[in-house]
Amino acid sequence: MSEEIKTDRAPVSQRAHKVSAGINGDALGAKVTVQIDGNEIKVPLGTTILEAANELGIRIPTLCNHADLCVAGVCRICVVEIEGSRTLQASCAYPITQPIKVKTHSQKVRQARRHILDLLLSKHYGECYACFRNNNCELQALAKEYGVDFFRFGHPSKPFYEVDRSSYSVIRDMNKCILCRRCVRTCIDLQEVGVLDVENRGYQSKVVTYMDKLLGSVVCINCGQCINRCPTGALRANDPTDEVWAAIDDPKKHVVIQTAPSPRAAIGECFGLEPGKALTFELNTALRQCGFDKVFDTNFSADLTIIEEGTELLLRLFKNLVKGDHSQPLPQFTSCSPGWVKYIEHFYPELLPHMSSAKSPQQMFGAVIKTYYAKKQGIDPKDIVTVALMPCSAKKFECNRPEMCDSGYKDIDYGLTTREMAQMISEAGIDLPNLPKSDFDDPFGTATGSGIIFGATGGVMEAAIRSVIELVCGIRIEKLFEHARVMPVRGFEGVRYAELALPQIGPVPDLLKGLVKDWEWIKGATLKVGVCHGTANAKKVLDDIKAGGQFSQCHFIEFMACPGGCLGGGGQPIPTSPEIRAARARAIYSEDESYQIRKSHENPAVVELYQKFLTDGPCGHISHKLLHTHYLSRGKYIA
Amino acid sequence: MLITERDQLRSEISQFVKKHGGDRSALIPALQYIQQKYTYISEFAMQAVADELDIHPVEVYGVVSFYSFLDCRPKGRFVIRLCRTISCEMQGKDRVARQLENDLGIKFGQTTPDGAFTLEYANCLGMCDQGPAMLVNDQIFSKVTPEKVHDILQGCRQVFGAHAMQRKEEHII
């Protein structure tokens, strides 16, 4: 379950200090005995003191250390005393190579930590009451733990820097920054976007974008991973809750909300529950109590996406393999993740023809609500306010893209993150975990299991495979995969590749009759697919495609900008770690299995939509107008 | 064929980086090369270096802003750096500083309007036995007195003729 941490391109000095344990791990010298606070433990050579202490259950405070990131050793809060060593050592960056005796809370250590905290606070401007991280802040927690009762080195009374609100998604308030460089390592190592780094040195150090430009004008992809890893409130999402409350309070407005699968699997964490408990149906009740007029399931449009994207894939295959028309080349890339969309627009614009033109589920739903639903309910679309509950900060940027107005109005008015929704619910005094359950509203109803798994990495691919196999082969997916679990595409490895032989061909289903005559041309073919998550892994795959490697032979590749997929998104509850993401994934997959209908093309609401509204079928004229989009070649030059 | 200055700079950087192995360790030599040739490293040059080394522009900017001898904004033709550490301080640095400010009509950290001189403080120049010490571009002056300041500046002004001005303008990127 370990996610690969990419450190190839980090400078040698910033790479994790690991000493190879040798071929035989039990061989003499491969393990070393270390004594921490009088407790002895045998650990492999190269284990850090922090890891050894964790194994013993001894807590050492940390700020710059993070499970997803490489070692930095910059905050010094984790210093410990080593017998025989002149100075205190940072335990996160000290590999054990010989038997040592460590004290984690001697007088010297306690005093050093207290001074470090006091120094951090002397440059940390802001009031805890007026901070969105109040009660969820690592600096605040440490100040409490170490009994900070006065500011030894002072406390700033005026801000140092202006707050950068230029981005639709991420707000940077450098007054609260403690220079732990987690955002820097996230942006450079984990995501390979490279927006943030430290300028100047020593006392003048500051985390900046290129030439200290505004975040809205550099190549930020809005993934928000930096928000999830910031220990303080220096980075936060652009919060539209006031506008949403205003819309709810306006009696003329019909406010509808759609909820994505990942927030439902994680929102419990904001209410003190363990990660991995989905609150889907409790959340529906809570949203109605908040005052939303209708609560819809984004999975409906996830199913719609699968139909559109799957059809586009089949058309692309036909064009490329039979007709030899390469205007829309293979492999086809998924387009559900707005962070990924912006990444390819910036860094690989030459590969944009590979992108599926299908919109993301959020935007498809917006377009459908303001056209089909408005007509059906007899509501003027200008009075409808569409809100989307998403695990994502990039969705805030996506709904503000100028091309996302195909219904004639702004398709999605506001994007809310999981954290902001939890805030609204607690503001309304609702006890979410103990609410009665209630279902989603008609006419879109409760969707399918395929829609749910969109939240996990490999989920879009799994949903697409379920539908494509059934539509093309005419057999039930359960015949090939037990309980419809397409295991080859599941997991947390950064890059995955799978091949799937089509066992037979079936009759063309009614839905696709207008597009293809028969499946003869695809008979005996092997579907090659790829899955990757985190844009650092996306970079590997794209470089491989450009070099003509394994992935250039693929037919369909799923990309998600965030590590772990949407469930690890930039709008999810803080903190995040590989274990938390794995727990959320378990919640999502178990919810999938509890559904009656688990394949997108069997969703009755989707079938009805194609019969009544999108009458010329998937990838037809109406669907192209409402459900498909185009991309912008942005390039990475920062003007 | 018309080659823009940007294309030229890009190919120059590309050749230089290739000569130095093409990986991250070529970063500082490349930046020093650009600094020496163009007197500063422009926004475009930093992005071109990043492209060549397959790293991010912000990382290059981080390095440029870290080192005092690399600049991302144009400075004067002559950069005067006066040592401000304790030995020079005790040998009468303040009088030299005042003389420099009076002669040039600027404060420390500023550049003269004609683009000729930039005045800066530096930390120890390693001439503690011969203070106050001062660095003019690459040339060191020791035991500087207010009287000598006038001569040094005059010497610079004589070099700083039409030719020097022309060279600088040619390479504004």
Average pLDDT over residues A577-599: 91
Residue A386 confidence (pLDDT) above 80 = yes
- pLDDT, position A503: 86
- Name the token pair of A358: 């299908």
ipTM of the modeled complex: 0.89
Q: What is the mean pLDDT of residues A26-32?
A: 68
Q: Return the CATH fold of A252-300+362-434.
A: Rossmann fold (3.40.50)
Q: Which pLDDT belongs to residue B173? A: 40
Residue of chain A with shortest Cα separation from B56: A194
- Among B42, B66, B90, the domain-final residue is B66
Answer yes or no: A192 catalytic.
no
Annotation says A180 is catalytic: no
> Is the peptide bond preceding residue A349 cis, with omega within 30 degrees of 0?
no
- Closest to A407 (Cα-Cα) out of A351, A372, A367, A350: A367
Can you give the residue range of the structural domain that contains B82? Answer: 78-168
Residue of A nearest to B53 (CA): A9
Task: Kindly report the nearest CA distance between residue B26 and chain A, in angstroms.
Answer: 13
Per-block mean pLDDT, blocks of 10 residues, chain B (173 long): 84 93 89 90 94 93 94 89 93 94 93 90 91 90 93 84 47 42
Q: Which two tokens stand for residue A461?
A: 């691919």
A546–B contact, CB cutoff 8 A:
no
The pLDDT of residue A105:
92
To the nearest 10°, report the CA torsion of B117, B119, B120, B121.
130
Q: Which residues are paired to B136 by β-bridges?
A: B80, B139
Place of tokens 């089509």: A502
Instruction: Kindly state whether residue B49 falls inside one of the protein's structural domains.
Output: yes
* Pair B42, B84 in one domain: no
**C-beta separation of A146 from A191 below 8 A:** no
What pTM value is reported for the model?
0.91
A566 catalytic residue (yes or no): yes
Residue B71 forms part of a structural domain: no
| Res A140: pLDDT | 95
Share of chain A above pLDDT 70, in %: 95
Contact B43, B6 (CB under 8 A): no
Q: Are residues B84 and B161 in the same domain?
A: yes
CB contact (8 A) between residue B55 and residue A9: yes
Chain B interface with A: residues with Cβ < 8 Å: 24, 43, 46-47, 54-59, 61-62, 65-66, 72
Known catalytic residue: A403?
A: yes
The minimum CA-CA distance between A211 and chain B, rounded to whole Å, is 7
Structural domains in chain B (count): 2
Same domain, residue pair B163 and B141: yes
What is the C-alpha to C-alpha distance for residues A552 and A554, in angstroms, rounded to an integer? 5
- Name the catalytic one among A403, A478, A579, A608: A403
What does the block give as tokens for B82?
Answer: 């006066």
pLDDT at A113 over 80: yes
Q: Is the pLDDT of residue A579 over 60?
A: yes
Domain boundaries A313-356+447-627, CATH class: alpha beta
**Among the options A309, A345, A462, A558, which is catalytic?**
A309
B55 & B112 share domain: no
Among the three residues B66, B86, B108, which one is the final residue of a domain in this structure? B66
Same domain, B152 and B127: yes
Question: Which of A246-255, A437-446, A569-578 has the weakest average pLDDT?
Answer: A437-446
A170-186: average pLDDT: 94
Neighbours of A281 (CB within 10 A): 16
Residue in B21, B29, B66, B27 with CA at minimum distance from that of residue B49: B27
**Residue B57 resides in a domain:** yes
> pLDDT class for A28, splitting at 50, 70, 90?
low
Please list every residue in chain A whose beta carbon sits closer than 8 Å to the beta carbon of residue B62. 197-199
Cβ contacts of A210 on chain B, cutoff 8 Å: 46, 57-58, 61
Chain B partners within 8 Å of A347 (Cβ)? none
Q: Which amino acid is at A396?
A: K
- Annotation marks residue A312 as catalytic: yes
Domain CATH number, residue B27: 1.10.10
| Cα–Cα distance list, A237 to A167, A424, A535 (Å) | 9, 15, 20
Query: How far apart (Å, rounded) are the C-alpha atoms in residues B10 and B47?
Result: 10
Catalytic site includes residue A420? no
Is B156 inside any structural domain?
yes
User: Which residues in chain B have Cβ-Cβ distances shorter than 8 Å to A201?
Assistant: 66
Query: 3-state SS string over B60-108?
Result: HHHHHHHCCCCCCCCCCCEEEEEECCHHHHHCCHHHHHHHHHHHHCCCC
Do the bridges between strand B78-83 and strand B134-136 make them parallel or antiparallel, or are there none, so unpaired?
antiparallel
| Number of C-beta neighbours around residue A481 at 10 A | 16
Phi and psi of A143, rounded to 5°?
Answer: -60, -40
How many CA atoms lie within 13 Å of A77's alpha carbon, on the beta-carbon side? 25
Contact call for residues A443 and A605 (beta carbons, < 8 A): yes
Residue A145 has pLDDT above 80, yes or no: yes
Please tell me which residue in A131, A392, A399, A566 is annotated as part of the active site: A566
- pLDDT of the residue at A21: 53
CATH class of the domain at A12-105? alpha beta
pLDDT of B36 reads: 87
A356 is a catalytic site residue: yes
Same-domain check for residues B87 and B163: yes
H or E segment and range at residue A347: helix A338-347
pLDDT cut 90: percent of chain B above it: 65
User: Tens digit of pLDDT for each residue in B136-170?
Assistant: 988 899 999 999 999 999 888 887 654 554 444 44
Residue B55 shares a structural domain with residue B90: no
Question: SS3 of A18, please?
Answer: coil
Q: In residues, how long is chain A?
A: 639
Please identify, among B66, B100, B117, the residue that sits at the C-terminal boundary of a domain. Answer: B66
Residues B98 and B55 in one domain: no
Contact between A363 and A396 under an 8 Å Cβ cutoff? The reply is: no
Contact predicate B91/B133, CB 8 Å: no
Q: What is the 3-state secondary structure (H, E, C) of A372-432?
A: HHHHHHCCCHHHEEEEEEECCCHHHHHCCCCCCCCCCCCCCCEEEEHHHHHHHHHHCCCCH
Interface test with A, best of B25, B56, B58, B173 (most A CBs within 10 A): B58
Of residues B46, B54, B62, nearest to A199 (C-beta)? B62
> Same domain, yes or no, for B86 and B162?
yes
* Helix and strand counts by DSSP (H, E) for chain A: 21, 17
Cβ neighbours of A637 in B, within 8 Å: 47
What residues 168-197 of chain A have any CB closer than 8 A to a CB of chain B? 188, 193-197
Single out the residue of A532, A461, A528 nearest to residue A493, CA to CA.
A532
On whether any CB of chain B is under 8 Å from the CB of A13, the answer is: no
The sign of the dihedral angle between the CA atoms of B138, B144, B147, B148 is: negative
Contacting residues of A for B43, CB less than 8 Å apart: 211, 638
CATH number of A119-237: 3.30.70.20
Residues B47 and B88 in one domain: no
Q: Where in chain A is the domain with CATH 3.40.50.1780?
A: 252-300+362-434
Give the tokens for residue B44: 């475009």
| Mean pLDDT value of segment A198-202 | 92
- State which amino acid sits at residue A420: E
| A126 touches A176 (CB < 8 A) | yes
Total Cβ atoms within 10 A of residue B122: 18
Question: Secondary structure of A263-289 in the HEC alphabet?
Answer: HHHHHHHHHCCCCCCCCHHHHHHHHHH
| Average pLDDT of every residue of chain A | 90
pLDDT tens profile A243-277: 999 999 999 999 999 999 999 999 999 999 999 99
Q: Is B120 contained in some domain?
A: yes
In this structure, of A53-57, A105-109, A535-539, B74-78, the range with the lowest mean pLDDT score is B74-78
Size of interface A-B (CB pairs under 8 A): 43
SS3 assignment, position A44: strand
pLDDT tens per residue across span A214-235: 999 999 999 999 999 999 999 9
Q: Which residues belong to CATH 3.40.950.10 in chain A?
A: 313-356+447-627
Is B58 close to A193, i.e. CB distance below 8 A?
A: no
Nearest chain A residue to B70, by CA:
A200
